[in-house]
Chains A and B, each alone.
Chain A
Amino acid sequence: NAGVMQNPRHLVRRRGQEARLRCSPMKGHSHVYWYRQLPEEGLKFMVYLQKENIIDESGMPKERFSAEFPKEGPSILRIQQVVRGDSAAYFCASSPPTGADEQYFGPGTRLTVT
């Protein structure tokens, strides 16, 4: 019973490049969440998605960041024109369709911008 899967686990990008982070939720889970953890800081909510819908993007930076969760395939967090301040661990979590509070996290993608 695979847990939440994320890839790549480590990603290095030069300033100005694009970063694409992927997340496959646990089997049976249809809710996906993205969180960011900056060095020496706590996790911060970014976006909450269900299949083909963005439910809450209140934590997403206004520019350069976008997220999707298509009908088929993994959820994608996309960061355009990365800057050094984007270097962080990006965690994806998933939860079952309804009535469940608990979110289960994937191993994260560590993005380094050089």
Chain B
Amino acid sequence: RKEVEQDPGPFNVPEGATVAFNCTYSNSASQSFFWYRQDCRKEPKLLMSVYSSGNEDGRFTAQLNRASQYISLLIRDSKLSDSATYLCVVRKGGGGNKLTFGTGTQLKVEL
């Protein structure tokens, strides 16, 4: 079983739609959680950290359920520029700093 699992998509949605991505992680020792976005052949860029209480940044809302080991990302009012691959990322605690990446969910926002 992969440490971080995501639906690969693609999710094809019209501009203005709301879209949700889900992610599960297997290591209960994971302590930090993030969403990154990666445009084709570019570096991953940090979209937002994910906190247990849930957090929002503009059109983006992230949720974490530690009991279910489940992370979500909601994008409201999708823009063409949101088209990218969204990477679910976890970091195990205990002094280790390495990030473990999911393989990503591809989003295509269309006119």
A103 at the interface (CB under 8 A from B): yes
| Pairwise interchain contact A101-B91, C-beta atoms closer than 8 A | yes
Given the known inter-chain contacts A42-B87, A43-B101, please indicate yes or no for A105 contacting B32, CB distance below 8 A.
Answer: no
| Pairwise interchain contact B46-A104, C-beta atoms closer than 8 A | yes
| Pairwise interchain contact B46-A56, C-beta atoms closer than 8 A | no
Pick the contact of B34 from A31, A59, A102, A107 — CB < 8 Å?
A102
Query: B32's closest neighbor in chain A, by CB?
Result: A101
The distance in angstroms between the C-alpha atoms of A94 and B38, with both chains bound, is 17
Pick the contact of A41 from B34, B45, B99, B103 — CB < 8 Å?
B103
| Pairwise interchain contact B43-A45, C-beta atoms closer than 8 A | no
Pick the contact of B98 from A41, A56, A102, A108 — CB < 8 Å?
A56
| Pairwise interchain contact A91-B103, C-beta atoms closer than 8 A | no
B66 to chain A, nearest CB (A): 16
| Pairwise interchain contact B45-A105, C-beta atoms closer than 8 A | yes
B44 at the interface (CB under 8 A from A): yes
Interface string of B29-44 (1 = CB under 8 A from A): 0001010000001111
Pick the contact of B43 from A33, A56, A105 — CB < 8 Å?
A105
Chain B residue numbers with a CB within 8 Å of A106 are 43
The distance in angstroms between the C-alpha atoms of A13 and B44, with both chains bound, is 25
B100 at the interface (CB under 8 A from A): yes
Interface string of A24-56 (1 = CB under 8 A from B): 000000010101000001111100100000011
A35 to chain B, nearest CB (A): 8
| Pairwise interchain contact A43-B97, C-beta atoms closer than 8 A | no
A9 to chain B, nearest CB (A): 11
Interface string of B80-111 (1 = CB under 8 A from A): 00000001000100001111111110000000
- A residues within 8 Å of B by Cβ? 31, 33, 35, 41-45, 48, 55-56, 58-59, 89, 91, 93, 95, 101-108, 110
